[in-house]
Structure 1
């Protein structure tokens, strides 16, 4: 029995690409994101090269739920109040910077002892993370110096017609996610 290829732009197609350690684009709350398997150094390095982003800057992980993020962070370093404040903002467009244990790969945390994490409320990204079984690296889909992509056509214009992209709409927000430090409560980027 021959297997039929998955339709380009479908969830199944993008899952296949992720399993092959390929970088994909997908809609998020405000803009399209670029993502890949956070456990694949080669996939993360390909994403960073595509973005022309230095590894030292660190990355964001986006997930369907908090349990997907726990292996990458030091949950035990959070107070009950810090954890409750973070969890109360999810799912949604708030990214939190959280301490990481020593085993978290430097290709994710960069020069920091922390990692930016978010539980998304975008249904397509939730499905992607659930089916993939873990979070995705998430950074805005744009080439260095270009505006972030807000639709499939813009992704294909910047990255090429054959770039793997999950077809769908963004969540309609104008601004990328707010970023806060979970320990200090400090606002790092306005949402």
Structure 2
């Protein structure tokens, strides 16, 4: 049911480590456009991808040196998103105006199960830009109503907010 929804350019809401997320398949420009419209967010900012394990990101990691790859392997899975140099694999509607792509390997059981069945997903916090991220399924419904195709049941993990974002090359902490 969830996979079919995603293949049909669907947008889902699901619990993550710290907040509810909105997601879709990264190959669906239509679904990405829907997420951006729901959030009131510009495409230029880009979106991140989440996966069940690092092997799902192999194509995105081609060209990384062993030290950078080692940092990813040390810190994943977990609530850390890395901005990795774009090697041309990620679609423009995912990276926006950036030269990097945001990647995260989740340790949340719902996210991992989703990605194990579908591959990497676009993932962004479930909120309208400028408002707090949803921390309950009720808040997701209050923000988006029926404009989200499917709400995946589950509980948040133990983090207290969205993932940390770090630039892999510079080491700069963005969030």
The normalised TM-score by structure 2 is 0.94
- SS of aligned partner of 1:112: coil
Q: Give the counterpart of 1:58 among 42, 46, 59.
A: 46
Q: What is the CA–CA distance in structure 1 between the aligned matches of 2:131 and 2:160, rounded to whole Å?
A: 16
In the TM superposition, 1:1-191 aligns within 5 A as 13-71=1-59, 73-76=60-63, 78-132=64-118, 134-160=119-145, 163=148, 164-189=150-175
Instruction: Please report how far the alpha carbon of residue 184 of structure 1 lies from its aligned counterpart in structure 2 after TM superposition.
Output: 1.3
Return structure 1 stretches of 4+ with deviation > 2 angstroms: 13-16
Aligned residues: 174
- TM-score, normalised by the number of residues in structure 1: 0.86
* Distance in 2 (alpha carbons) for counterparts of 1:162 and 1:57: 22
**1:35–1:137 Cα contact (<8 Å) kept:** yes
Q: SS state of the match for residue 187, structure 1?
A: coil
Q: Which runs of 5+ in 2 are unaligned?
A: none
Task: Return the alpha-carbon distance in structure 2 between the equivalents of residues 56 and 162 of structure 1.
Answer: 22
The runs of 5 or more residues in structure 1 that have no matched partner are 1-12
1:162 Cα deviation after fit: 7.1
Question: Does the CA-based 8 Å contact 2:52-2:116 persist in structure 1?
Answer: yes
Structure whose CA Rg is larger? 1
Change (3 A) 1:119 1:45: same
Report the secondary structure of 1:48's partner residue. Answer: helix
Q: Is the 8 A contact 2:62 2:87 kept in 1?
A: no
Q: Check the 8 A contact 1:61/1:69 in 2, yes or no.
A: no
Cα 1:162–1:79, aligned 2, differ >3 Å: closer, same or farther? closer
